[in-house]
Every structure is written in C-alpha cells, then in structure tokens.
Structure 1
C-alpha cells in the first residue's frame, strides 16, 4: 500500500498556523484588557481606585506571555517546515523532532496558563480578575449623578472587556487542544514519511533488478 504523506504535512502546517493566528488574537485581546485596566484603575470609580489590592491581573499577564510563546514557537516551526531551502520534507525525523520540540513546550505553557487563570477566576469574592470583575458589573447601571461622566469613568466598556477576557482564556484552551492534536498528527506523519520512504526504496530496488 502506497502512502502519500503530503496531505498530513499540509494538515500539520494548517493546525500550527491556526495556533499562531489564535495566539495573535489572544495576545491582542489580553493586552488590550490589561491596558484599559492600567489606564483606568487609578481614576475610574468602577475599578475601585481606593482598593487596588482587590484585583489580581497575574492571569491576564500569563495569557499574554503564553500567547507570545506559542506564536514564536509556531512561527519557528512554520518557517523551518515550509521554506524549501531547509528541505525538511526529505528529512522526516528532523521535521518530527522540530514539531515535537515546538509543540510540547507550547502545550505545557498553555495548559499551565489555563489552569492558573481558572484558579484566579475562582478566588472571588476575595480577589477579582479583569474577567470576573467586568463580567460581574457589565450590566450594572451608573448612579444618577454619574451619568454625565466621561466614557473612561464608567463601566460602558465592561461588556466588551468581559468578552475579550473570556475569549483570551477559552482561546488559550483551544490552542492547547490544537497543539495536542498536532502532537498526535506529528507521530502519524512521521510514520507515514517512514513508510513512504521505505516503499520508494523498494520500488527503486525492484526497478534496478528488472533493468
């Protein structure tokens, strides 16, 4: 039975590409929510400026670091795997090692980040994260005397920040699942490459004997 590993190579590149694209989106949303918090926390009454110790933003920072790490490692794999001059198509073991070397660290980082962020989100009401706070008060109405306050002095952006925070967390979980799938596909692709190489060698030997 002849196997063509090319579709597996393409599938692996697509999965890693999705991880890289999702990481950019996660990085953007996490960085934006943290930026809004940093700019408004000391002045916006909805961010409790007199009680800053109530907030724990370590989870958001972890999401930013995780997304950046996955993007860098995914980009390394895609560049080395897709640029013809590196010739990894004809070096299946090296390609597999590269995939494993970039996938496993990324998967571990994303898994730890998701667990850590989830633990912080469950620390309420003792502490709040950007996600728990904005989701809790996104539909709350300001006091009558606060209606004339500027946009950056209210909770008008809480709905968007809540959605962005959730996207960053569940997006990171999605990236982890994609990386697990990529790891499994790496093993299958390596076996397919080895089988195809073996079959090609047999065909060449048979052709040599016939000639």
Structure 2
C-alpha cells in the first residue's frame, strides 16, 4: 500500500500558519489593552489612580509572552517548511523534530498561560485584571464629575478593551488546540514518511533485482 505524506505536510504547514496568525492577533490585542492600561492608569479616574495595587496585569503580560513564543517558533517552522532551500521534506526525521520543537514548547506555553490568566481573573473582586475590570464597568455611565474629562479618558474604551482582552485569552486557548492538532499530525506525518521511504527502498531493491536478473546470460 502506497502512502503519500504530502497532504499531511500541507496540513501541518496550514495548522502552524494558523498558529502564527493567531499569535500575531493575540499579540496585537493583548499589547493594546496593556498599553492603554499603562498609559491611563495614573490619571484616568476609571482606572483608580490612587489604588494601583488593585490591578494585576501579569495575565496580559503572560498572554503577550506566550504569543511571542508561538509566533517565533511558528515562523521558524514555516521558513524551513516552505522555503525550498531549507525544505526538509527529504529529511523526515528532522522535519518531525522541527514540528515537535514548535508544537511542544508552544503548546505548553499557551496552556500554562490560559490556566494562569483564568486563575488571575477568578481573584476578582479582591484583585482585578484588565479583563475583569473593563468587562465589569464597560456599560456604566460616567458620573457627573466625569462629564468634562478630555477625550480618551473615562470608560468609553472599556467595551473594546473587554472584547480584546477576551479575544486574547480565548485566542490563546484556540492556539493551544491548533498546536495539539499539529502535534498529532506531525506524528502521523512522520510515520507516513517512514512508510513511504521504506516502500521506495523496497521498490528500488526490487527494480535492481529485476535488472540484474535480466542481465544474467541464459545458456
């Protein structure tokens, strides 16, 4: 039975490519929410400038860190898989090791980050994360004394920040699932590559035997 591992290689590249795209999106959303928090926390009354210790931004930082990790690992794999000069298709063990080196660390980082972020979110209301705070007060109307606040202050951006922070954490979960799928595909692709290589070797041996037999003189 002949097995063509090419579709598995394509699926592998697609999954890692999706992980790369998700990581870029997570990096953008988590980075934006953290930037807004760091910029406005010291003067925006909706961010409690006199009570900065109420907020825990480590979850957003962890999301950014895991996104960068997956993005870099995915980029390395895609370069080796898609650039013809580096394509390791003929070195299936190297390709499998490269895929495992992408999926395992990335999967571990994303899983730990999702768990860590959920733990921090569950500390509310004693401590709030950017997500719990913005989602809690996104629909509140400004107080009368806040009506004269300059543009960019108040809680006008809380709804979008809530959505972005939710996307970052659930996007990280999706990335973990994609990496888990790519890990499974990588193992199957490695087995398929080994089987295909064995079949090619067997066909080459059989062909040589036939050629040698045809060259034997008949008496």
- Tell me the TM-score range normalised by the shorter chain: over 0.9
The range that moved more, 98-107 or 51-60, is 98-107
Change (3 A) 1:29 1:87: closer
Cα RMSD after superposing both structures = 0.9
1:7 aligns with 2:11: no
Secondary structure at the residue paired with 2:156?
Answer: coil
Query: What is the deviation of 1:143?
Result: 1.4
**Structure of larger gyration radius:** 2
Query: What is the deviation of 1:87?
Result: 3.9
> Structure 1 CA distance, aligned partners of 2:87 and 2:148?
64
> Structure 2 CA distance, aligned partners of 1:198 and 1:86?
23
Query: What is the deviation of 1:192?
Result: 0.4
The range that moved more, 82-91 or 26-35, is 82-91
Higher helix share: 1
> Structure 1 CA distance, aligned partners of 2:54 and 2:151?
23
Give the equivalent residue in structure 1 for 2:215: none
Give the equivalent residue in structure 1 for 2:53: 53
Secondary structure at the residue paired with 2:126?
Answer: coil
- The gaps in structure 2 that reach 5 residues or longer are 212-219
Give the equivalent residue in structure 1 for 2:113: 113
The range that moved more, 77-86 or 66-75, is 77-86
> Structure 2 CA distance, aligned partners of 1:167 and 1:147?
30
Give the equivalent residue in structure 2 for 1:147: 147
> Structure 1 CA distance, aligned partners of 2:149 and 2:24?
34
Give the equivalent residue in structure 2 for 1:187: 187
Secondary structure at the residue paired with 2:3?
Answer: coil
Give the equivalent residue in structure 2 for 1:104: 104
How many residue pairs match? The answer is 211
- The gaps in structure 1 that reach 5 residues or longer are none
Query: What is the deviation of 1:79?
Result: 0.7
**TM (normalized to structure 2)?**
0.94
The range that moved more, 77-86 or 102-111, is 77-86
The range that moved more, 163-172 or 75-84, is 75-84
Q: Could you give the per-residue CA deviations for residues 93-150 of structure 1, whole angstroms, max 9, x where no partner exists?
A: 1110111112111111111110110000000111000000000000000113322322
Query: What is the deviation of 1:86?
Result: 2.4
Secondary structure at the residue paired with 2:85?
Answer: helix
Secondary structure at the residue paired with 1:84?
Answer: coil
**TM (normalized to structure 1)?**
0.97
